[in-house]
Structure 1
Amino acid sequence: MRRWPLDACLATLLLLGATALQARGTLDFKAMQSGQGYRSSVDLSAFAPDEASLPATHRFEGRLQLSGQPQTRTLLADTDFLAFTEADYRQARTIPQDFDYAFVQDKDTLIPVRRGPIPSDHPWWEFILEPGKVWDEPGDRGYTRAAIPFSLAQKNQNCTSNGVLMLLFNAQGALAHAAFQVSSETCRYLHMDMWGFLQARYLPGAVANKAAIVAAYRTELAARLPTRPLSALKAAYPDLDLARLAIGDPTARTRYGLYVDGVDYASPCPTRHGDYPYCQVMDLPSYSTAKTIVAGIAAMRMQQRWPGVMQQHVGDYAPTPACAAARWRDVSFMNLLDMASGNYGSADYMADEDSPKVAALLRPLTNAGKLRAACSSWPRSAPPGSRWVYHTSDTYLLGIMLNRFLRTQTGQADLDVFSSVLLPDVLAPLQLSPTARVSRRTLDTDAQPFFGYGLFVHADDFIKLARFLDTDHGRMDGRQILDPQMLDAAMQRNPEQRGLPVTSLEQTFRYQHAVWARNVQKLLNCKTAAWVPFMSGYGGITVAMFPNGVVWYNVADDGKPASFDFADPAREINKIRGYCPG
């Protein structure tokens, strides 16, 4: 262990204390009352109770309205991404002006009535609101403080910026200003600081179903996994090198951690201005981990309920002439799930997914626009099932096929697989956060779930889902929820079904039933192949499910290989319980 000189330790503590004190001074009663003096971002500790805080005098119940615009500082704006323009990014430097949402209070917790992305008139952003805190502070002249963690989620996409807002209120209403700050994100192409005072109005009043909202929150809180600092893992496993559990550039990481022995050992949530004070409810974008969480799990659940559904063909359920073309008639639902439709432009690794054609799928707001791209972009280049080529469009098309099958089987035209199968059968029973139970959908009457991306989760959700697939084998309370043959193949438990090789990485990586797998045999010097299944998302999101029951997760956004390569964590996790086969 490296030991710092006493004077260096003292200097560091004094600096941190001075930074926090300055931040609280910037947002003291006088500043919150006048709406002046907030000239730059402050340490986020100012948005949470500290040791001097007192129990809240007032209770918040009613609606909060906000208006005005924060100051912004753009750190990165990649206008090459999906052909976004300068005009697009000008919109991204503003926030929605239709913030008018209800909250209720339970003890010291402020609970938003609505969770998940909230549709907005803003051309770029939507709010996601999470439970925050209420408390009193000396010097606030009888007012109570309320802090609300939130995220700005890009409309139609997964780009996520995390922030906190804070106001002072009493029984009659609120001070005229709320402090607003965004200091971190998980978004490869847009990094911004936002800060400043907004105009605030608190409208006290009874909220319908308050008791149910509070009860649901208490259930959510009770269902969260035990969490400890990552440093506590050393006591249980002294041989671990904790530094090797972190990968990639630290400035690109949002959060990482390791689940073992029933505990989530988690890193803090660092930002450019101190640690995020509400780390447990920080919203994380799924990006393509949704291909596993939504498409993969939904397909396995459908196969368990309707055996043979994944052997159905696109041509039999084609919603448009383009999908009824000859190149789609013999493509099975399983081929779509495996990204092996045979319809592609280039077999080179990620060449199609990185091409400008993908914008035709991602940018449209309507199902018709996305469907046009999914069915028309690529020619027939190989027999279905013979070659893996990564296409988000295949996963999106699978969602439409499963919906059409479900409606045909039940005779109910208003059902969809996400709301009618995945949510009641899997996501709700797993007690995922309310945020993770809402999918991005097309902004039209179809409201088609994206399937291949579009979910927002907490770290706790990632772990529960991984545990369900891995150690629980797709079972709940002794009942098999997911098709066992599909799940065993996806999780590399059937050596006769390893899945299609990933182009240019044939000996090391496989992809099967929306789950990736990596052979770590050489890393661990195993005698035979040692496969680790994992979920993967754009920018640097990995949830690895190790055969010894350990789950390791990392959320980053720079897109560099170092942010995906979990070789070092794989070696360290082998020290916990060896997982070489045999």
Structure 2
Amino acid sequence: MILKNKYKAQRLLLKIIIISAISFNITAETVHQKPHQRTALSFENLTDMSTKYTKHNSSPVNNDNYLPNPHSKAAKHTFSGTITISETEMLSIPEKILPTIVNNKYTQLFPGLNLAFFSDKDRLIPVNRDIVVAKKSESFWQLQASPGKTWSEPGDNGYSRASFPFILTSNIENESYNGIASFIYTDKKISQLHYQIVHQLSPYMIQTRFVAWGKIAASYQPEIFSNAEQLKRQFSKELKDRFSVRPWSELTDKYPAKLLAEFDSGISSDKTVSSGLIIDNTIYAKPHLTPYGNYPYPEEMRHGVWSASKSMLGMTTALRMAQKYGDGIFDLKIKDYLTVTAEHDGWDQVTFGDALNMATGIGAGSHNIQANDISDGYLAVENQTEYLAWYFSETAEEKIKYVFKNPNYPWGPNQYVRYRDRDTFTLAVALDALLKEKEGPDANIWTMMVNEVFTPIGIHHLTSNMTKEANGANPIPFMGWGLYMTMDHIAKISTLLQNEGRHKGQQILSQEKLAEALYKTEKRGLLTGRENRYGKKSYHMSLWHTPYETEPGVAISIPEMHGFGGVLIALFPNKMTGFRIGNGGYSSLGMIDTANKLKPFK
């Protein structure tokens, strides 16, 4: 009897264990299926209007919080309308953005403006893809939004969620402060806009490299855009036209690690936003690093490439016009297209080609030709007041007035290269005048480049700083700096140059003058006063030429484009292109060595 009761007790205990285990599994599964609760950018965080962000109760978060999470589903609502955001003081690290005022505008203020978007499937698409300028704003900044995403999450109480990338910049400089913004929405309303600015390239006037964050009161005006279907088709074509972007790890899987190890040698990883190789219409890119994780929209990330604009826009515009009107345009004289008001005769023999070479013989530097430093006089203290007056001038007429106030050197044009943004801008105005002479007063070089070069090679929504002209006159791109480029833009123009100016059988750029620029002819540029272990560096037609030896005694030259701070684009003889976007300078030999090892130069 005791034994029988013992067996009953054991069976009862086993049953309790089984039931408990089942209950535990159900509970565990239930916990696993419980709606995901965000700890950052939560529903409460996005909708709480009472709590003001301060440096003590908030900070930037990991960039992943601006993307869908594993629990996300399709958006519950269609978005179509205009977001109005108010001008708001930014929280930043460091606490103050210095100087606090530039050109009578406040650098700590996020601009107040209107941003129109519509959704297509899971994409949030800006109606205006250009740089948006706030009207009557006290903020120093302008904003350009790029396509983002829409989705929904279980913890958002029936709302949908969206995020989009953007840059802050100004029309004076070419800095690019990359950020992300997020909000939740229904058919009729949206939450506050939360944002963080997580990386930037080198500024000139702004003394502080900063990250920033905050929340902005926002309102939503639903609207059906009459051109929405057209914009959807255009965006679909834009995606189709893009080069494939593959992770750098695919190269490390394909090639021995030692061949790729030195690619970014000489540059600190924290000074690099992104770098990679363009091979056969494919971009192999390293992660886009920021202090808060990888940038969540790497293909939309825009970079102010500073003086790489001299090549990407200045040289390509001259080459396009040479293809249209003949290579002789390089020998045209500036004085025949612009009214020269200089009190000297230094401009009498200066040609379009001299301006592209920055060898006009005009400038306020020293007359020391023994050292022959390309940067002599560029930012000389005695030249600062005049330089800044030119720099801040808004119209082409005002800028040209200051160009012609510069003295001339005793040696004349095409003798020594001296780095001068003003030479490239002067070329831009002269090229625009030539185009108007050929095609009428309404012709404009930027419009010509968009229609005849950028669009045909598959570039969409490339933007640039421009002059601000009165009465709605067409502006002129600065051309010496000012382009805001994605990886795809860089890849497309580089590939056009690598393909001798041809695209799908059409000769878009002058083949002969491009060959000269790339040192594929006997013509060579002027020495810069700089060198590496292989020899002396030179400059020609906006390209820096770095000497290199493929093997002992076999010398070649690598054409490079440089942008202030650390933008580098290098065109290799094996048709590969290397690029690095960052703040770490122009060390390129590791990149050149890597490309030569992957496919030896000939």
Q: Settle same-fold status: TM greater than 0.5.
A: yes
C-alpha distance in structure 2 between counterparts of 1:254 and 1:183, whole Å: 11
SS in 2 for 1:272: coil
Q: Does 1:564 align with 2:586?
A: yes
Deviations 1:325-375 (A, max 9, x none): 511011011111111111232353312222224323322222233212222
Q: Is the 8 A contact 2:569 2:578 kept in 1?
A: yes
Which of 309, 314, 317 is matched with 2:337 structurally? 317
Q: Is the 8 A contact 2:530 2:536 kept in 1?
A: no
> After TM superposition, what 4+ stretches of structure 1 lie above 4 angstroms from structure 2?
76-79, 84-90
In the alignment, which residue of structure 1 is the partner of 2:78?
59
In the alignment, which residue of structure 1 is the partner of 2:536?
508
Give the drift of 1:439.
Answer: 2.4
Which of 449, 469, 478 is matched with 1:444 structurally? 469
Q: Does 1:100 align with 2:122?
A: no
Which of 314, 332, 342 is matched with 1:295 structurally? 314
Closer, same or farther: CA 195–100 of 1 in aligned 2, 3 Å: same
In the alignment, which residue of structure 2 is the partner of 1:253?
272
In the alignment, which residue of structure 2 is the partner of 1:227?
245
Cα RMSD (Å): 2.2
Alignment of 1:407-426 (within 5 A): 407-410=436-439, 412-420=440-448, 422-426=449-453
In the alignment, which residue of structure 1 is the partner of 2:179?
163
C-alpha distance in structure 2 between counterparts of 1:206 and 1:78, whole Å: 39
C-alpha distance in structure 2 between counterparts of 1:66 and 1:221, whole Å: 29
Q: Is the 8 A contact 1:231 1:242 kept in 2?
A: no
C-alpha distance in structure 1 between counterparts of 2:186 and 2:295, whole Å: 26
Letter in 1 for 2:173: Q
Q: Which of the two has higher C-alpha Rg?
A: 2
Which of 124, 127, 148 is matched with 2:164 structurally? 148
Q: Is the 8 A contact 2:359 2:418 kept in 1?
A: yes
In the alignment, which residue of structure 1 is the partner of 2:304?
285
C-alpha distance in structure 1 between counterparts of 2:250 and 2:479, whole Å: 37
Which of 194, 215, 221 is matched with 1:197 structurally? 215
In the alignment, which residue of structure 2 is the partner of 1:487?
514
C-alpha distance in structure 2 between counterparts of 1:70 and 1:229, whole Å: 37
C-alpha distance in structure 1 between counterparts of 2:167 and 2:220, whole Å: 20
In the alignment, which residue of structure 2 is the partner of 1:350?
375
C-alpha distance in structure 1 between counterparts of 2:298 and 2:286, whole Å: 9
Closer, same or farther: CA 547–327 of 1 in aligned 2, 3 Å: same
C-alpha distance in structure 2 between counterparts of 1:77 and 1:529, whole Å: 50
SS in 1 for 2:210: strand
Give the drift of 1:406.
Answer: 1.5
C-alpha distance in structure 1 between counterparts of 2:453 and 2:96, whole Å: 38
Give the drift of 1:59.
Answer: 0.9
TM-score normalised according to structure 2 size = 0.86
Closer, same or farther: CA 230–113 of 1 in aligned 2, 3 Å: same
Q: Is the 8 A contact 1:543 1:552 kept in 2?
A: yes
The alignment covers a number of residue pairs equal to 541
C-alpha distance in structure 2 between counterparts of 1:139 and 1:37, whole Å: 23
Closer, same or farther: CA 476–103 of 1 in aligned 2, 3 Å: same
Give the drift of 1:143.
Answer: 0.3
Give the drift of 1:232.
Answer: 1.4
C-alpha distance in structure 2 between counterparts of 1:199 and 1:501, whole Å: 55
In the alignment, which residue of structure 2 is the partner of 1:267?
286
Q: Does 1:539 align with 2:539?
A: no
Give the drift of 1:241.
Answer: 4.1
Which of 333, 336, 339 is matched with 2:358 structurally? 339
In the alignment, which residue of structure 2 is the partner of 1:465?
493
Q: Is the 8 A contact 2:446 2:476 kept in 1?
A: no
Alignment of 1:3-18 (within 5 A): none
Deviations 1:434-469 (A, max 9, x none): 1x1x32111222522211111101011111111110
SS in 1 for 2:464: coil
Letter in 1 for 2:156: D
Give the drift of 1:158.
Answer: 0.5
Give the drift of 1:242.
Answer: 3.4
Q: Is the 8 A contact 1:244 1:569 kept in 2?
A: yes
Letter in 2 for 1:372: K
C-alpha distance in structure 2 between counterparts of 1:391 and 1:365, whole Å: 18
- Long gaps (5+) in structure 2: 1-34, 367-371
In the alignment, which residue of structure 1 is the partner of 2:151?
135
Deviations 1:233-254 (A, max 9, x none): 1122225443422241222211
Deviations 1:371-405 (A, max 9, x none): 12222223233121111111111000001111111
Letter in 1 for 2:482: G
SS in 2 for 1:354: coil
C-alpha distance in structure 1 between counterparts of 2:102 and 2:555, whole Å: 51
C-alpha distance in structure 1 between counterparts of 2:572 and 2:95, whole Å: 35
- Long gaps (5+) in structure 1: 1-20
Q: Is the 8 A contact 1:548 1:578 kept in 2?
A: yes
Give the drift of 1:310.
Answer: 1.6
Closer, same or farther: CA 130–493 of 1 in aligned 2, 3 Å: same
In the alignment, which residue of structure 1 is the partner of 2:228?
210
Give the drift of 1:77.
Answer: 8.0
Letter in 2 for 1:353: Y
Which of 126, 130, 149 is matched with 2:142 structurally? 126
In the alignment, which residue of structure 2 is the partner of 1:456?
484
In the alignment, which residue of structure 2 is the partner of 1:181?
196
Which of 26, 41, 57 is matched with 1:27 structurally? 41
Closer, same or farther: CA 50–126 of 1 in aligned 2, 3 Å: same
In the alignment, which residue of structure 1 is the partner of 2:547?
519
Give the drift of 1:93.
Answer: 1.1
C-alpha distance in structure 1 between counterparts of 2:446 and 2:87, whole Å: 36
C-alpha distance in structure 2 between counterparts of 1:519 and 1:106, whole Å: 49
Q: Does 1:551 align with 2:577?
A: yes
Q: Is the 8 A contact 1:304 1:482 kept in 2?
A: yes
SS in 2 for 1:349: coil
C-alpha distance in structure 1 between counterparts of 2:551 and 2:504, whole Å: 37
TM-score normalised according to structure 1 size = 0.88
Q: Is the 8 A contact 2:251 2:284 kept in 1?
A: yes
Give the drift of 1:63.
Answer: 0.8
Letter in 2 for 1:185: Q
C-alpha distance in structure 2 between counterparts of 1:250 and 1:358, whole Å: 33
SS in 2 for 1:195: strand
Seq. identity, %: 26
In the alignment, which residue of structure 2 is the partner of 1:116?
130
Q: Does 1:388 align with 2:406?
A: no
